[in-house]
């Protein structure tokens, strides 16, 4: 059996190595257009920032190591130009010599990945404008920084690569600005959770120009002007386009393979394309979202590696199937960690799901053990059924642990109320007897049993300020004096029972505290005395972060723009 693989990074390299482990006699040829195989895309920004200093550390394998260990023929700087399914062959060009030749196959694996999205804007050919996707891209940026010593950079795009590169450039001492059309960074997060990321970026000197539309680029004064709609240009010594990636599927299109979202390759759950004996995996393919069942594009290393393994199993006579992508991811943002899995509340509602969420701010470990730090968790679930839809966490220690527990719970089909039943490891330096994941389950269980009714940030604009409701802040007097919401009265929770006569039992009470715990206790006190009480999800700390962020974004936009 002869297997030809197009692309030698995550999915392609995994498929090649797995095929060899399953079939010692197979002939395996990998064609990789760049000069490197099996490299760590996710590590590229950290090489730019000198966190990773050895360029060889970026590559997990080399053509030579593949041949020594796996007897696989890996040919870098070779581009596959065409596929001929009728005679099961590909046309290949050696990019170093220019020679072209045909290579036959019994099975063909397409793992071309994705390419940086290139907007159709004037000026994208400017030498000081970069993209970051390959090792060569990384060396080009690194060489430019070491040669030209730029003092400023504009990044167009605020996803994973944009944020990671912004941090690393800032650590090198550059003035960094992120500009993009959406009013938030990190689209997998809801806007309220993204506000915590924005605050961390601003704290470290990153300028955020959100809600801005880039209209082009011009060379100016030895640098680049980033032209913005309805705003003055942003000037910088260098610009990086990080507005996303597009499936690299021109080869598949020419071969007549069925294409889907953004011209991605359509595959079934065995990773088979519409053409017999041709498989595809990685960032170039359309997948089913594990939570929604919708067709999706999810460009992450974990799914790509799993898909490559599944292809190898099936080529070698197995029957492995891909269950879908869940979008689990984690990101370092200076001192913070942000993580997400499943879908966010915004997406759920766009899909017509009746979604709800709890927001909590537990400590990373037991409060009495030194060094605990607060994390903010948002767990999204479907009303009535309490199906677990997704989760987002922003914090310091222990974020990755909790998101992985929640990702596992989603994959296992657990209901959100069942999070309270999980038996999770506890010792004071690592967790609490009531783990943050358990706490989210307790809160959702309280909602399910009618013990907790919430109000949310977006409800604030419609709260009755005409005296028909009680707006109650149950923090201490000192906390209340340091910051409050207009119209709220202060009765500390520990005084509430003795001051119930100050609250009209005929009016609904909207209650808030610093984190949501004391206000929940206050709501139970009020409910036990016959009041209709509702608890603010997230507490004043969360409210303050979201309100400040939205005010900063809106104040930066010129009058007349869509707010």
Residues marked as catalytic: 42
Residues 6+ apart with CB under 8 A from 478: none
Do 170 and 204 contact (CB within 8 A), yes or no? Answer: yes
Count other Cβ atoms within 10 Å, centred on residue 337: 19
Nearest to 61 by CA among 13, 22, 27, 105: 13
How far is residue 83's CA from residue 443's CA, in Å, rounded to a whole number? 55
Asked if 390 contacts 340 with a C-beta cutoff of 8 angstroms, the reply is yes
**Local structure of 372: helix, strand or coil:** coil
* Chain position carrying tokens 């399914």: 85
Question: Rounded distance, CA 209 to CA 216, Å?
Answer: 15
CB 6 within 8 A of CB 302: no
CB contact at 8 A, 6 and 31: yes
At how many degrees (to 10) do helices 436-448 and 399-411 cross?
Answer: 50
10 contacts 41 by C-beta, under 8 angstroms:
yes
Strand 27-32 relative to strand 73-76: parallel, antiparallel, unpaired? Answer: parallel
In the three-class reduction of DSSP (H, G, I as helix; E, B as strand; rest coil), residue 62 is classed as coil
Q: Counting Cβ atoms within 10 Å, is residue 418 exposed (0-12), middle (13-18) or buried (19+)?
A: middle
What span, in angstroms and rounded, lies between the C-alpha atoms of 222 and 228? 19
Alpha-carbon distance 13 to 176, whole Å?
35
Nearest 10 degrees: CA dihedral of 226, 227, 229, 231? Answer: 80
The residues, ordered by sequence, that sit 6+ positions from 321 with a Cβ below 8 Å of its Cβ are: 269, 270, 310
Which of helix, strand or coil describes residue 468? coil
Token pair, residue 1, equals 């059996």
Six-digit token string for 299: 């460009």
Contact 127, 238 (CB under 8 A): no
Give the integer Cα–Cα distance in Å for 210 and 197: 13
Q: Would you call 184 helix, strand, or coil by DSSP?
A: coil
Structure-block tokens of residue 495? 């005084």
Phi, psi (deg, nearest 5) at residue 13: -65, -40
What token pair was written down for 181? 């059309």
């Amino acid at each position: 059996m002869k297997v030809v693989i197009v692309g030698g990074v995550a999915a392609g390299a995994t498929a090649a190595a797995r095929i060899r482990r399953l079939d010692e006699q197979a002939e395996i040829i990998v064609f990789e257009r760049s000069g490197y195989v099996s490299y760590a895309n996710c590590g590229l920004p950290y090489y730019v920032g000198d966190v990773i200093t050895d360029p060889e550390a970026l590559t997990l394998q080399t053509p030579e190591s593949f041949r020594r260990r796996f007897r696989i023929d890996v040919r870098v700087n070779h581009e596959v130009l065409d596929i001929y399914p009728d005679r099961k062959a590909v046309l290949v060009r050696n990019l170093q010599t220019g020679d072209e030749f045909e290579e036959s196959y019994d099975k063909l694996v397409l793992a071309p990945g994705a390419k940086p999205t290139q907007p159709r804007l004037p000026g994208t050919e400017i030498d000081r404008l970069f993209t970051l996707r390959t090792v060569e891209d990384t060396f080009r940026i690194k060489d430019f920084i070491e040669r030209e010593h730029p003092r400023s950079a504009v990044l167009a795009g605020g996803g994973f690569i944009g944020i990671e590169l912004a941090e690393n450039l800032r650590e090198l001492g550059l003035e960094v600005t992120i500009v993009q059309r959406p009013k938030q960074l990190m689209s997998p997060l809801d806007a309220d959770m993204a506000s915590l990321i924005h605050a961390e970026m601003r704290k470290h000197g990153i300028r955020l120009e959100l809600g801005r539309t880039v209209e082009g680029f011009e060379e100016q004064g030895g640098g680049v002007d980033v032209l913005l709609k309805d705003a003055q240009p942003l000037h910088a010594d260098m610009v990086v386009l990080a507005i996303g990636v597009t499936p690299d599927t021109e080869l598949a299109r020419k071969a007549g393979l069925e294409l889907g979202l953004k011209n991605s390759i359509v595959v079934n759950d065995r990773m088979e394309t519409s053409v017999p004996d041709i498989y595809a995996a990685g960032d170039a393919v359309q997948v089913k979202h594990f939570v929604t069942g919708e067709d999706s594009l999810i460009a992450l290393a974990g799914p790509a590696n799993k898909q490559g393994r599944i292809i190898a199993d099936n080529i070698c006579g197995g029957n492995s199937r891909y269950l879908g992508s869940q979008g689990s991811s984690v990101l370092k943002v200076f001192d913070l960690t942000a993580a997400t899995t499943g879908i966010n509340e915004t997406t759920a509602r766009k899909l017509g799901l009746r979604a709800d969420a709890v927001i909590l701010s537990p400590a990373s470990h037991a409060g009495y053990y030194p060094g605990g730090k607060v994390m903010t968790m948002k767990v999204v679930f479907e009303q009535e059924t309490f199906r677990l839809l997704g989760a987002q966490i922003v914090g310091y220690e222990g974020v990755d642990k909790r998101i992985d527990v929640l990702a596992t719970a989603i994959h296992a089909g657990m209901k959100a109320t069942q999070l309270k039943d999980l038996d999770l490891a506890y010792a004071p330096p690592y967790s609490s007897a009531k783990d943050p994941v358990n706490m989210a389950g307790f809160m959702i269980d309280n909602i399910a049993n009618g013990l907790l009714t919430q109000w949310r940030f977006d409800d604030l604009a419609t709260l009755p300020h005409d005296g028909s409701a009680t707006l109650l802040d149950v923090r201490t007097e000192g906390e209340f004096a340091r910051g409050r919401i207009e119209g709220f009265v202060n009765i500390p929770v520990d005084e509430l029972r003795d001051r119930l006569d100050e609250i009209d039992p005929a009016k609904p009470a909207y209650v808030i505290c610093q984190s949501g715990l004391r206000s929940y206790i206050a709501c139970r006190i009020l409910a036990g005395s016959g009041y209709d009480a509702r608890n603010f999800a997230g507490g004043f700390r969360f409210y303050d972060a979201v309100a400040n962020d939205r005010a900063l974004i809106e104040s930066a936009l010129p009058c007349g723009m869509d707010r």
